[in-house]
């Protein structure tokens, strides 16, 4: 019997769609939601389910940014055929995005048992939410916010891409939070930092979802809940992307910092009182 029903899948799809690209940790929120609903988070099918429904959120990114993706793909293809085209920033950016994904792939494969074992604890999630909020506040406060998307270079891409490892090892830190914070520390403005985070999410999260698809199905997750969760996450994530880009163009990240602190402290309280099992 599948450990996740259709109704629970819809709820998790909403949580995934809302939190995947906001710098608040989708993994942390999914673990909290699963704990509150009594879903066995250590089940391989549940681990795989949460990775697969990320593909709905990734599909939302691809659809939303399709004109940009098509531009990068065209520049990359032309660059393979001509030297002059290889000088274009879009051609280089396409390569940098692929290269920046390698660190998280390597660490993910090497540390799989650790990530799915002791580091999957809700205590880690709570601590990472709180620590990550401090990092984000410092990055947003101290960052120069003067460099745009056209100023991104290989060093930026590799540093920001490598920052995804923090979220991989410490669920609750937030992949988007880590990448946005790293980009802000590199002097990028808030919109450029957010867009770079989106572009880097495509290969990283797509790979994770496809890699764990076998666990979601072989472990006992039914096809219908997977389909429902993925479709819901797509719709909600698309709306979240549009909202976030508009928000960061006019506001700082302080609202997310405060929210993360509140959730982190509340989670510590729930764990300490036994309401949630770590």
pLDDT for 116 beyond 90: no
Instruction: Provide mean pLDDT across the span 233-258.
Output: 97
Q: What share of the chain is helix, strand, coil (3-state, %, to 5)?
A: 80, 0, 20
Both structure tokens of 146: 């003067």
Q: Among 111, 168, 130, which Cα is nearest to 271's? A: 130
User: What is d(CA 212, CA 53) in angstroms, rounded to the nearest whole number?
Assistant: 11
pLDDT for 114 beyond 90: no
User: What is d(CA 239, CA 257) in angstroms, rounded to the nearest whole number?
Assistant: 21
pLDDT for 241 beyond 90: yes
* pLDDT at residue 35 in the model: 84
| CB burial string 202-223: b at 16+ within 10 A, e below | bbbbbbbbebbbebbbebbbbe
The set of residues, in sequence order, having a beta carbon less than 8 Å from that of 246 and lying 6+ positions away, is none
pLDDT over 70 percentage in the chain: 95
Residue 75: count other Cβ atoms within 10 Å of its Cβ: 19
- Strand residue runs (E) in the chain: none
With beta carbons less than 8 A apart as the criterion, state whether 10 and 232 touch. yes
Lowest mean pLDDT among 32-36, 163-167, 219-223, 246-250: 219-223
Give the residue with greater pLDDT, 13 vs 213: 13
With beta carbons less than 8 A apart as the criterion, state whether 181 and 260 touch. no
With beta carbons less than 8 A apart as the criterion, state whether 28 and 246 touch. no
pLDDT band at 27; cut points 50, 70, 90: confident
With beta carbons less than 8 A apart as the criterion, state whether 127 and 264 touch. yes
The set of residues, in sequence order, having a beta carbon less than 8 Å from that of 223 and lying 6+ positions away, is 217
User: What is d(CA 33, CA 37) in angstroms, rounded to the nearest whole number?
Assistant: 6
Give the residue with greater pLDDT, 168 vs 206: 168
In this predicted model, what pLDDT tens digit does every residue of 53-79 receive, in sequence order? Answer: 888 998 999 999 999 999 999 999 999
User: What is d(CA 199, CA 209) in angstroms, rounded to the nearest whole number?
Assistant: 16
Average pLDDT, the chain: 90
DSSP 186: T
With beta carbons less than 8 A apart as the criterion, state whether 108 and 208 touch. yes
Residue 56: count other Cβ atoms within 10 Å of its Cβ: 26
In this predicted model, what pLDDT tens digit does every residue of 254-277 receive, in sequence order? Answer: 999 999 999 999 999 999 998 888
Q: Which residue ranges make up each domain of the chain?
A: 6-272
* pLDDT at residue 151 in the model: 96
Quote the pTM value.
Answer: 0.90
DSSP per position, 133-154:
HHHHHHHHHH----B-GGG--H
DSSP 174: -
Residue 95: count other Cβ atoms within 10 Å of its Cβ: 15
* pLDDT at residue 39 in the model: 86
pLDDT band at 43; cut points 50, 70, 90: confident
* pLDDT at residue 214 in the model: 63
Residue 53: count other Cβ atoms within 10 Å of its Cβ: 33
Residues in the chain: 278
* pLDDT at residue 176 in the model: 94
Both structure tokens of 220: 């006992």
């Amino acid at each position: 019997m599948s450990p996740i029903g259709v109704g629970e899948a819809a709820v998790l799809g909403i949580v995934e769609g809302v939190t995947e690209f906001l710098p608040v940790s989708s993994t942390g929120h999914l673990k909290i939601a699963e704990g509150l609903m009594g879903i066995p988070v250590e089940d391989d099918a549940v681990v795989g389910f949460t990775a697969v429904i990320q593909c709905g959120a990734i599909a939302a990114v691809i659809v939303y940014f399709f004109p940009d993706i098509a531009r990068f793909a065209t520049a990359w293809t032309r660059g393979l055929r001509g030297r002059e085209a290889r000088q274009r920033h879009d051609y280089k950016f396409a390569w940098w995005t692929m290269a920046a994904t390698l660190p998280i792939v390597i660490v993910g494969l090497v540390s799989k048992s650790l990530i799915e074992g002791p580091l999957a604890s809700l205590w880690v999630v709570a601590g990472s939410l709180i620590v990550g909020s401090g990092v984000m506040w410092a990055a947003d406060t101290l960052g120069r916010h003067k460099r745009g998307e056209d100023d991104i270079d290989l060093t930026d891409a590799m540093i920001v891409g490598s920052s995804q490892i923090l979220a991989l090892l410490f669920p609750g830190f937030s992949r988007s939070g880590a990448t946005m914070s790293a980009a802000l520390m590199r002097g990028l403005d808030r919109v450029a930092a957010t867009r770079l985070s989106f572009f880097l999410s495509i290969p990283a999260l797509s790979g994770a979802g496809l890699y764990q698809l076998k666990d979601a199905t072989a472990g006992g997750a039914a096809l219908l809940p997977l389909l429902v969760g993925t479709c819901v996450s797509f719709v909600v994530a698309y709306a979240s992307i549009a909202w976030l880009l508009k928000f960061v163009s006019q506001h700082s990240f302080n609202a997310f910092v405060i929210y993360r602190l509140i959730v982190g402290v509340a989670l510590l309280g729930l764990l300490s009182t036994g309401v949630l099992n770590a």
